Amino acid sequence: MVTIVGPQQVNIDIDGQFERVDSGNGMMFPDRVYPRHTISIFANPYIDDAQRPDPNDPDVRTVAPGETAPGPGEYNETTLYFLPGVHNLFEPPECCSNRSAAEPCICSVKEGETGYTRSYLLQSFKRYYVPTGAWLNGNFYSLGDDNPARHEGIEDMELFGYGSVVGSKYYWKSNGNYDLPGGIKLRGAKNCSIVGLTFVDFHSHNIMVSGGLYVNPSRVGMFPWDPETRRNTLTHAKVFGWKTNTDGVHVFGHWNPITDLFIRTADDSCYVGDETSQTTFRRITTWNDVNGVPFIFGMRNGGPTIVEDCDVIYHRKQWPYWCGGLFDLRWWNRERNFATANVTLRNIRITDPHPTCPMLDFRGSANNIAFENITIDAHPPPLTLPNWACDASYNNPNMRFGVDNSLGCTLPFGAPNRIIGRVQYGEADPIINISNLVFDHVTVNGTHIRLLMEASEYAGAFVVEGSVYHLTFYPRRDPGVKHRFKMQERQCFVNPASGRSHCISLPEGYSPNSTKVQRLLRNVYELAGDKDEL
């Protein structure tokens, strides 16, 4: 018997199909693919009578299954209540739901396309209640765009309940752009909330929502998002995305703390430290099945941003050459005055016994990033490179993840961690750099991350290239962490203030005259009772 105490997100792995079996790293081959079944249980906060709309209230409009949901101008009530049952927000054209790959029609939210499928338009100053048992086929959007001069958008809107919003009626076929239906897309949102809903089986990003438009002349060239007083709310939402490009949560602007999300996707889970500024992400659970990364840092300034108390339960990819990192910076922007900055990630647990990709893939420009109390249970599985990538004359470092040819065909720690201080696939530039990264109690498979970067026994576990400055590691020495630094012979030092001698061992390569060692000696003198004589 399992007792659930309070709101939680629980995943049940049946017969160890994920815990015991590596479902990534080559699963694109048909002979390795077979159905796997899991159960996810969500214990949600209770919606009490004060929060739950009363269907008999004259200011509440109910929508029965099979009834067309009224749109703008078709009802005056404040609240729209979708009664339990199956609803069709919009019936897609037959060609859009056709499973034939030869069908030229492609589902699109762009009006005028052959496969145009109209999204349901959310309105300002309205509440939408989707209770448990309500199944909504379709998707949501709002008016507005990213141009602050138009002052368009949506405000004071509430979409809540524990029902489901589903895109399974749309057949996925790529059209090479982002006009495919996603779960919800808001622009220019101010004081809006999305609470509790489950988004399932969409074509594109499940939750993509932009904070309210706000002109800020000091951020010319940046997205001018909402002021502090009009923050939006996203909490207790769930995402299940099986199709290509079904990223989980991508928010822009300033938000109230984004909390208690469960995100299982076939692509990236959660965008942080990107266009999302001054926002805390808390208690986010991620699961990547085929592609993507748990936490992705984007192309624009972020921060101060905090990501804390999160769990990565599975991080699998079909093909390791698609690897990014559990924490992934893809900085394509070539404008030299922008960098992802001022982000803290702390108390994050990666418990996947078979993660396809490493902890870090930071490529581009970033500074002032802190990793605190990060625990990763396992290295990626060993990776055998194809023979043509092992030849000493082969000079395409990307196919070897930047690992030196001397390691041959086998990467014992799988795809390596990478910190590369330059634009993606660009030349080194000292202005475009990665600097001031702090690793405080960060371990992989029980090994301190500094050892993975520096110790010869972990060759191939880390690649550092380009303009990378000021990496700081804590603790310096902790009995509970596998440091295993080689030590010099014991040396004795005299405190000039007292004349007393103190003998210690220094790590190999440490100079007795360095500032670091002198600071250490002062601590030694103090512990030995020399404090009053310093």
**Residue 313, pLDDT score:** 95
Q: Could you tell me how many residues make up the chain?
A: 534
**Are residues 416 and 398 in contact, defined by beta-carbon separation less than 8 angstroms?**
no
Tell me the C-alpha distance between 225 and 211, whole Å.
Answer: 6
Strand partners, 280: 306
Mean pLDDT value of segment 45-62: 94
Cα 121 off chain centre by: 28
| Closest of 145, 157, 89 to residue 117, by C-alpha | 89
Cα 267 off chain centre by: 10
**Residue 426, pLDDT score:** 59
**Residue 138, pLDDT score:** 92
Got the DSSP string for 362-374? EES-EEEEEEEEE
Instruction: Give the single-character DSSP code of 525.
Output: H
Query: Which sequence spans correspond to the domains of the chain?
Result: 44-267, 491-533
**Residue 486, pLDDT score:** 45
**Which residues make Cβ contacts (< 8 Å) with residue 18, sequence separation at least 6?**
36, 38, 314
End-to-end CA distance of the chain: 62
**Residue 322, pLDDT score:** 76
Tell me the C-alpha distance between 407 and 430, whole Å.
Answer: 29
Please check the confidence at residue 478 and state whether its pLDDT lies above 60.
no
Mean pLDDT value of segment 332-345: 71
pLDDT band per the 50, 70, 90 thresholds, residue 481? very low
Got the DSSP string for 280-313? EEEEEEEEESSS--SEEE-SS---SEEEEEEEEE
Cα 370 off chain centre by: 16
pLDDT tens digit sequence for 2-16: 788 888 888 888 888
Least confident segment among 21-30, 75-84, 126-135, 507-516: 507-516
**What is the Rg, in whole angstroms, of the alpha carbon atoms belonging to the chain?**
26
Which one-letter amino acid corresponds to residue 3? Answer: T
pLDDT tens digit sequence for 198-233: 999 988 889 998 876 444 444 444 444 445 668 899
Tell me the C-alpha distance between 534 and 523, whole Å.
Answer: 11
Q: How far is CA 132 from CA 42, 83, 129, in A?
A: 12, 9, 10
Tell me the C-alpha distance between 378 and 350, whole Å.
Answer: 8
Instruction: Pinpoint the alpha helices (H) of 207-258.
Output: none
Please check the confidence at residue 98 and state whether its pLDDT lies above 70.
no
Residue 124 is encoded by which pair of tokens? 């300002």
pLDDT tens digit sequence for 136-174: 999 999 876 544 455 567 889 999 999 999 998 877 665
Q: Is 59 helix (H, G, I), strand (E, B) or coil?
A: coil
Number of H helices, E strands in the chain: 2, 39
Least confident segment among 85-89, 251-255, 389-393, 491-495: 389-393
**Residue 221, pLDDT score:** 43
Q: How many CB atoms lie within 10 A of CB 459?
A: 16
